[in-house]
Amino acid sequence: MLDARSLLVYCTTNQALRCAPIADRPHGGLVVAPHQGDERGLLETAAYLRGRARFGAPLLLDAARYAGPDRLPASAPFNPRWLRRQRELGLPVLTDSGYVDAGDERGLAGILRRTMAIPGAVAVLPLHPAWLRDRLHLSVLTGHLRAAAVPVALVLEARADPFALDGCVPGLLAVLGCGVPVLLLRCDLSSLGALCHGAVAAAVGTVAALRHLAPREADGVRPPSTIFRPTMSYRRISAIQRAKRTRPDPRLWSCDCPVCAGRDLDWMAGLGDREREVPAFEHAAAVLFALRDELLGDGRPLPRAARDWAARCAEAAFREWELGWTVTPMLRHWRDTGPNPVDLRLAS
């Protein structure tokens, strides 16, 4: 079972054994998707994690049939074997849903209707961003969610961060207010905002391609990036290194997480892209779990956590402006959810 306000790690099968020790913690957990569409390998990895590896935190499996050039539409039926094997492994049952395109109300309703017939199942909803950004789409979506009254796991499509798009943050808050349990998959720092506003769980991807659902025609692999805590945003190591040269303040650049161990964050600049990928994520995960505990630890009430999150986003946006960086749109959108949005015209 998931602990409320859980921060999960989202990875593929080939990354699962490395990610398991990071995710095996209170209010943590792991979401694993197949590597190169290998569903059998995914199920075998899950059995190993629950068996010999003794992974004790929540474990969820995402079939991810909604992703890639051959993705399935929302009308595609669920695979009974997929549903059965998750239950046999003692895992939460996530539907193997297809992609819900803009305007595909029939597909959306079909996924929810079929999920209602599966006791305890979670409806995976891979959505075109219009479902959160457009008022009519959002009204249709929230109406169906209230009527179905089943837990849902949202996956949002975008070329980069979907919460950088106007309307996605308010749309998510509307979904969180529907009265159904909501999980957020394939996300980045907005996972913390979702938790502060009542999401049951949110999963952060290990690499950029797993922090959102890429459109079919999306560009290729991007260089690794990691979280720069003062600005609460993902940045390439090269960008951090350049910014450090203009403002060499040790208090700003050093990091005490287990990965960096007091070194300046640009230590990873000496690694190649492939070597950098693992420490970049391990550092990001350490920052995210620390922030999660600061925002939501000790049973902190959600309204207070939400106010704190908005204030931190405002501070981070201003720090980006100070460093000469373009302000991350996600920070502005979450900043404006606060009860008294901070007026930072220079950082907008």
Domain ranges of the chain: 6-210, 225-347
Residue 344: the pLDDT is: 43
Distances (CA, A) of 114 to 86, 108, 111, 123: 17, 10, 5, 9
Question: E strands, 40-135, where?
Answer: 59-61, 123-127
Whole-number Å distance between alpha carbons of 189 and 234: 8
Burial of 41 (0-12, 13-18, 19+ CB in 10 A): middle
Q: Give the pTM.
A: 0.94
Q: How many CB atoms lie within 10 A of CB 115?
A: 24
276, containing H or E segment: helix 273-296
Sign of torsion over alpha carbons 148, 151, 155, 156:
positive
Residue 336: the pLDDT is: 93
Per-residue pLDDT of the chain (348 residues; tens, 9 = 90+): 677 899 999 999 999 999 999 999 999 999 999 999 899 999 999 999 999 999 999 999 999 999 998 999 999 999 999 999 999 999 999 999 999 999 999 999 999 999 999 999 999 999 999 999 999 999 999 999 999 999 999 999 999 999 999 999 999 999 999 999 999 999 999 999 999 999 999 999 999 999 999 997 665 567 789 999 999 999 999 999 999 988 878 788 999 999 999 999 999 988 887 888 899 999 999 999 999 999 998 888 999 999 999 999 999 999 999 999 999 999 999 999 876 544 443 333
- Which CATH number describes the domain made up of 6-210? 3.20.20.120
Residue 348: the pLDDT is: 37
